[in-house]
Amino acid sequence: MLGSNIHLVRIGRIDRRSSEEYGVLHEDIWYPQDVNRSDIGIESFFATDFDPDLSTGVNLAEEEFRWLPPIARPGKILCIGRNYAEHSREQGKEPESEPLIFSKFSSCMTGHQSQVEYPPHTDNLDYEVELAVIIGKEVKSLQTTDDVWDKIFGYTLANDLTARDVQKSEKQWTRGKGFDQSLPIGPLIQTADAISPPIANNIWLKVNGELRQSSKTDHMIFSIPYLIRYISQVITLQPGDILLTGTPEGVGYYMEPKGVLHSGDIVESGIDGIGNLTFTIT
């Protein structure tokens, strides 16, 4: 057993031997966990007395498996639009004065190393690398940001794939951002108790090896504590909810010429201290 004084560090979810399983990746060994699958599938990890079982581990390099989104059924996936000033400016817009909030859905999620089918309703599929925050405790009507970091369970990597032409042609962003496989996410949740808050981490994305996005998380207009407090004024956040915190400049649609995605493109992204996420457009 892993003693309770040892951090969980990295948690994920895979399909192995035709079965879904949650696990802890510790010192490059995967330890499957027996967790409650009744709701979001990861409740046991949020319990303060949960002690991960490290009695039986496997080397994933020697296994056939498929990465799944690290949380199976999050109650909410909330996203922040234009939260980096230079991303607003590359669109010819002034930075936002208040957070711009929209939603994705659990059906949008797909795992690390996924084959993402090019959606049929767009000719301008675009990428957006983002830091994703996993809520660990109920957050409701916060008046200050003093204790926000304590409400966070962990962090992972996400990509807010966008049908840019659809997004721009409709008043609501649901069809432009809420389609199937529009949220590659994972592969692992880096638990918040194991790292410093990611307030100045490098964030980057490459398409076919070409660097497209490169920034730091301290370039966000609205910080993680501000966003969580702001959202909690009207929406109660629950353990397992996911918050996408926005993307920096460098998205393909606003390049000259356009650098939107095409079938066969390989998209790689990373955030220092959090991990790397890769997927392929088919």
Interval 72-120: pLDDT, tens: 889 999 999 999 999 999 999 999 999 999 999 999 999 999 999 999 9
**What pLDDT is recorded for position 183?**
98
- Rounded to whole angstroms, the Cα distance separating 34 from 265 reads 37
Q: Where are the beta strands (DSSP E) in 111-201?
A: 114-116, 125-126, 129-135, 152-159, 162-163, 183-191
- Rounded to whole angstroms, the Cα distance separating 43 from 72 reads 11
Percent pLDDT > 90 in the chain is: 85
As a whole number, mean pLDDT of residues 215-231 equals 98
Q: Where are the beta strands (DSSP E) in 136-265?
A: 152-159, 162-163, 183-191, 202-207, 210-216, 242-244
b/e burial code for range 57-81 (CB count within 10 A of at least 16 → b): beebeeeeeebbbbbbebbbbbbbb
| Whether the predicted pLDDT of 30 surpasses 70 | yes
**What pLDDT is recorded for position 4?**
44
pTM of the model: 0.95
- Rounded to whole angstroms, the Cα distance separating 203 from 151 reads 23
Lowest pLDDT segment from 15-19, 38-42, 200-204, 227-231: 38-42
Q: How confident is the model at residue 47 (pLDDT cuts 50, 70, 90)?
A: confident
Q: Answer yes or no: are the C-beta atoms of 230 and 245 closer than 8 Å.
A: no
Q: Kindly report the average pLDDT of the chain as a whole number.
A: 93
Terminal-residue alpha carbon distance, the chain: 42
Q: Answer yes or no: are the C-beta atoms of 223 and 83 closer than 8 Å.
A: no
**What pLDDT is recorded for position 3?**
42
Lowest pLDDT segment from 6-15, 65-74, 227-236, 262-271: 6-15
What fold characterizes domain 77-281? Fumarylacetoacetate hydrolase; domain 2 (3.90.850)
Q: Helix H segments across 60-171?
A: 85-90, 164-169
**What pLDDT is recorded for position 1?**
35
Q: Where are the domains of the chain?
A: 10-67, 77-281
Of residues 40 and 47, more confidence is placed in 47
Nearest to 66 by CA among 127, 111, 124: 111
As a whole number, mean pLDDT of residues 66-71 equals 96
- Rounded to whole angstroms, the Cα distance separating 91 from 113 reads 30
Q: How confident is the model at residue 40 (pLDDT cuts 50, 70, 90)?
A: low
Q: How confident is the model at residue 50 (pLDDT cuts 50, 70, 90)?
A: confident
Q: How confident is the model at residue 37 (pLDDT cuts 50, 70, 90)?
A: low
Percent pLDDT > 70 in the chain is: 94
